Amino acid sequence: MNLDERMRRASTALLEQVDAVDRDRLYARIATRPRRRWVLAAVAVATAAAAVATVVVVPRLLDRGVIIDQPPFADTSPSPGGDGAEVPTGTWRRVPDPQGLFGGPGEQVITGLAVTNGVAVAVGGDGEHGDQAAIWRAAQLDRWERVAVDLCGEASCTIGDVTTVAEAFVAVGQVDGLPKAWTSEDGAVWTRIDLPVPTGGRPAVSPLTALEEVVSSGDGAVVVLGSIDADGGVQPVAYRADGLDGEWQQGGLGPTFDGELPITFDALTRFAGRYVAIAHAGDGLGFAHSDDGLTWELTPPTPGVYQPNPNRPTALVIDGERLLALGTVHGKDEVDGAVWASDDGVNWQRVHADGIGGPGQQAVLGAGVVDGAIVAVGEHFPGGTEPTHPAAWQRRADGAWLRLDGDGTFDSPGRLTTTAQLDGHSLLVAGSIVTDDRPDVALWTYTLDGDGSDARQQARPDDADCSAAVMPADLPPDAGLPPAADDLREALYEAAVACDYGRLEVLATRGERPFTFSLGAGEDDSPAAYWQMLEQRDEPGERPLWYLAQLLRLPHGQKVETQLQADRYSALIVWPRAFASDQPTDAEYQELVDAGLYGGGGDIAAFRQFGGYAGWRVGITPDGEWISFVAGD
């Protein structure tokens, strides 16, 4: 008996044991419209030669996903690296949408998120059923715009998801039923690419319904998985391109995909030297793996892992030396979140997920990692006639899971579905909120709280000369700056990320006015020597070059003459803009949290108690003279 037949028989026996009404109620909540669509997942690839970003495009049905699982659990130990210490929780914030870009007539859907070089991109759809392709872009999280670009011409068009490859964006979907990819260097201008179509085959034209996890990093190969509506029915297909400019190849997937049941894919990642995906054969679970992204093999069921409980994994995240699959299990009397683990991407075990359960029903739809903390997102159904609400959980250091309250942002009916990482310290989370009986797109940020920002800064490489070496090379534009000030801003950023103390010293001391770098420094003291001393100490809050680079990526503010010493200068351009006001607004403080400069709890409260922002700040005159880079008061 082949794998497909075993899975089909197991699924048939399973469905006979599960109350059909309860099962339909669960999946009606997970997918309000049980229709197939194209989705894409990008994966981080680490090899000895290069980092590779990988993408998967898959059709997914959330109304009848069933996998087979085992209690008792095979693994009862805490997660690797857990030392018993509590992982700090964070602050949830709903991203404002004052222009109503994510609402309005029809139905809006976000199916994928990606962030690179300080630019965030969301892809999805709108229209009567959310099935017409749309792209949104933000250089600053509070300033989203709908990208005005012709993606489809006169044809029907959907985009499943988006990721980043070599600091560019790549999205995948279909136009008039034919598979397509789109690439963009800035998220604003997009180029469409035709993917090969097998002889006698067309991809299934599918409205956007399911949402998918995206993980991406580095550059290199791009791998795509999907379905083709061929003569013999819906068939899985694989594509690969070696770089965004490489020729696209079509794969055959391999003999284990030749069964009678249709195969669909969910999340995909790169782990332990291979590509790993969640694969579904009919109503049964399977994992799949590949060495090259073109030829795939379904993973045989692990003995003892598969028992009659309908479940659905929906996301993959890398947890140190393990790969985790997160999803939902449907037991006899309850529906809860679940976690599976693998050391090699081939053999899987169910692990304890205490906390992704409890009263009502829970569904995990996506997951992300922030500062090593794993966060699962989804929805919670209290029961009865109550609607579902957004839900999120964070894994603690001891392996247990903690339900997050959303800081008041989960009060409206809706769900969380997919995530993208922001600068290594925060997650950008997409989902939906029901307004006037109509689901509208919504975005959140989740930022870990702490005593300071250094706990959320990216790790400094052992061979790096300074903390700013982890920052992107490209600096996003800051509209409204005078040309001389903008030129100096770019020069400062370039010197900071290059760890060029000598260049920073020249820029600080070349002007006629005194330069302020330490509130206790003398006139003959060297600013570069002071910064280098702090960098070598590598103490929390004392990584000046990282702060300098991160501040210059934020919107600027301006202090007017009445706030300044008139005998020195009449105007001063400052970063962050919170320093330009005696009473910074909530949005201005939130910029500091979103950028990882300061925590969302005690740090901001301390500034408010002090009476204004007193952290690291940069000052430049409109004519391009660097006046200050200092912290304190």
Q: Which secondary-structure segment (H or E) carries 426?
A: strand 426-435
Q: Is the pLDDT of residue 210 over 50?
A: no
Neighbours of 112 (CB within 10 A): 29
The share of the chain scoring above pLDDT 70, in percent, equals 68
List all residues 6 or more positions away from 124 whose beta carbon is below 8 Å from its beta carbon.
Answer: 108, 109, 110, 111, 112, 130, 133, 134, 136, 159, 208, 441
In this predicted model, what pLDDT tens digit does every residue of 171-191 receive, in sequence order? 888 887 788 888 898 899 999
Q: Give the Cα-Cα-Cα angle 120, 461, 545 (nearest 5 degrees).
A: 70
Strand segments, DSSP code E, in 60-156 are 67-69, 90-94, 109-116, 119-126, 132-138, 144-146
75 contacts 436 by C-beta, under 8 angstroms: no
In this predicted model, what pLDDT tens digit does every residue of 248-282 receive, in sequence order? 888 877 776 666 666 777 788 888 888 888 887 65
In this predicted model, what pLDDT tens digit does every residue of 519-542 receive, in sequence order? 555 566 789 998 998 888 766 567
CA-wise closest residue to 629 among 495, 482, 445, 536: 495
Phi, psi values for residue 122, rounded to 5°: -120, 135
**What's the CA gap between 106 and 439, in Å, rounded?**
9
Does the domain at 3-448 match CATH 3.40.605.10? Answer given as: no
474 contacts 117 by C-beta, under 8 angstroms: yes
Of the spans 357-371, 510-524, 552-566, which averages the highest pLDDT? 357-371
**What's the CA gap between 589 and 602, in Å, rounded?**
12
In this predicted model, what pLDDT tens digit does every residue of 324-338 receive, in sequence order? 999 888 776 778 888
User: Would you call 118 helix, strand, or coil by DSSP?
Assistant: coil
**What's the CA gap between 558 and 575, in Å, rounded?**
9
**What's the CA gap between 67 and 541, in Å, rounded?**
47
- Bigger pLDDT: 342 vs 54: 342
Q: Is the pLDDT of residue 383 over 80?
A: yes
One-letter amino acid of 52: V
**What's the CA gap between 513 and 516, in Å, rounded?**
10
Q: Is the pLDDT of residue 24 over 50?
A: no
Neighbours of 16 (CB within 10 A): 9
In this predicted model, what pLDDT tens digit does every residue of 483-516 receive, in sequence order? 999 999 999 999 999 999 999 999 999 888 888 8
Q: For the chain, give every domain's residue range.
A: 3-448, 454-630
One-letter amino acid of 132: Q
- Bigger pLDDT: 519 vs 367: 367
Q: Please, what's the largest Cα pairwise distance for the chain?
A: 89
User: Would you call 44 helix, strand, or coil by DSSP?
Assistant: strand
pLDDT at 377: 97
The share of the chain scoring above pLDDT 90, in percent, equals 23
Buried-state track 552-588, b at ≥16 Cβ within 10 A, e below 16: bbbbbbebeeeeeeeeebeebbbbbbbbbeeebeeeb
Task: Kindly report the pTM of this predicted structure.
Answer: 0.63
Q: Is the pLDDT of residue 603 over 70?
A: no
